[in-house]
Structure 1
Amino acid sequence: MTTNKKKLLITASLSPQGRALFDERGDIETIEFPNLISTADFVALLQQQAPVHGVALGATGFGEAQLEASGDMKVVARIGVGYDAVDVEALSRRKVPLMIAGTANSPSVAEQALFMMLTLAKRAVELHALVKDGQWASRFALLPFDLFGKTVLVVGFGRIGTRTAKRCLAMEMTVQVYDPYVSAEAIREAGCEPVSDLDAALPHADFVTLHCPKTRDTAGLFDAARIARMKPSAYLINTARGGIVVESALYDALVAKKLAGAGLDVFEQEPPPAGHKLFELPNVIIAPHVAGVTREALDRMGLQTARNMLSVLDGEPIRQNAVNADVLD
């Protein structure tokens, strides 16, 4: 390897399209590491390969220990948009940008949120089982209902929340939006109704769909008190991050019939433990944190991740995809 080559550690889930961008470059060396790697093994790998100039992360955590082990980190990238496993403050102290995949997976997550709403509203799981079990005659005891005319509260109006809102508007729903970081004018321009008080809005929503990042402010956002503000006929959808919803409180509300159902793509612990009590409830649909991991989204995210990393290394960073853009100044 020549002295001016940049060494990048790339998680195994990066798409071939992203890898191809690196392969085209004579000044880049890539080394693959497993998607599921322990913290100790990852630190050891960084030390072994140091200096490492960039990493493309799946679910692997990254912070001070990894920065120290890398020797000369220039860019950290997430193959996705969530970054709760990354110590952004540690990166910022060393002027290392954290790059995320922008809008690459937002259509996929928005579709999953709408899919979960429809699946619950149309009672797809229950009616499927009813036909298979020879219970045709009891179908009118499990009547589905329409999204048409219902009110959905979108919590978080960023890349994914805005796309989810568009899809809900297409279903002729009333779309309310809670996001303290987006102006009421921008929300109205998108055809939605802004709400400034989350607690006041919850009792009026037929669906609540979460699209906010997990931060100190949003961890545990939907606890027992907040879930209790939702009406018993309402549904809660979480395709954002585990830990925004307190799962024990959600379970209690569902069992007590104080909430109609829930759709969960994410969990407090991932993977969740075997025998998780939410698994047994007929009004809960679950997925293994794949809302943003469709075939097409993986291709888009891989390409964007490679472009993000190369833009930083080339001195022309894609600023809108940097979480801590101030380090680029």
Structure 2
Amino acid sequence: MIRCEGLTKYYGNHQAIADVDIHVGEGEIVGFLGPNAAGKTTTMRILTSFIPPSAGTATVAGHDVVTDSLESRRAIGYLPETSSLYRDMRVTQFLRFCAGLRGMGRQETRERMDYVLDTCGLSHRADSIIGTLSLGYRQRVGLAQALLHEPPVLILDEPTVGLDPNQIIEVRNLIKSLAKKHTVMLSTHILPEAQMTCERVIIINHGRIIAEDTPEALTAQIREAETISITLASPGDSVERQLTDMSEVVAVRPRGNGVYHIDTAIGADVRAEIAEFVVGRGWGLLELRPLEMTLEDVFQQLTTEEPAAVSAASGQEKGAE
């Protein structure tokens, strides 16, 4: 549904993105992640036909975003980071206005308004003035206008920005439900949200795609050791040395207040041995738990490496495929 090949964009002499390849299939929820100024916004502006690429091609639902931009835009529902809502309009007035801009007929507008108001949880606020709504409800109105014309593709830029935890959960569940009928590409800085919402993530840095896979596969690629956290009531002076001497233990990192992080060989499960070892020495085992590598850990490691090193790692992964 979304395909970019060799997408490149220059602003004067500055190269914002370079040779970006993106393929998003029908019904997928894909997260588009990257630090500030990495090229996310430029890529999304090209996909939504706000700006043309300097080189390369991009298609949405089979329509080229440059040569067939009208059809490609019809195929997209777009929610910008800051929704442009008319705050003095009522919700229904705003949606009718958007339907008119889309060239929708009266019957289609009525049917689709009922659907999006229900889907986005706005039915009971349909007659409310937008300016009186909370940020969470205004975000729902923005999502409702993106869904109004039943586009096959949704591009969402920071859909949960500024929302409280309960609102974030509601929007997350809504986005997941939309994947049954829509292809969703979302940009977010909230990495735990991407991990819980997206089936696949694409990470861009310095204008280039540096990683692309499921969150689980990316953590498996980056992880160099299994990590176990233990908390001890009465650690002795030689805890670090004695734990390091255990079989399969690679490193021990004191974290303070009796907490130690123990790195073990990939695939090794030595929790039982560590528990027996600690208890046998009377250190008082208060807690033992595995530490999972998160998407946030992967993102931080990939985007803080030198560009050349990242490119080399990416090339090795592609060569292994």
Mark yes or no: TM-score above 0.5. Answer: no
TM-score w.r.t. length of structure 1? 0.30
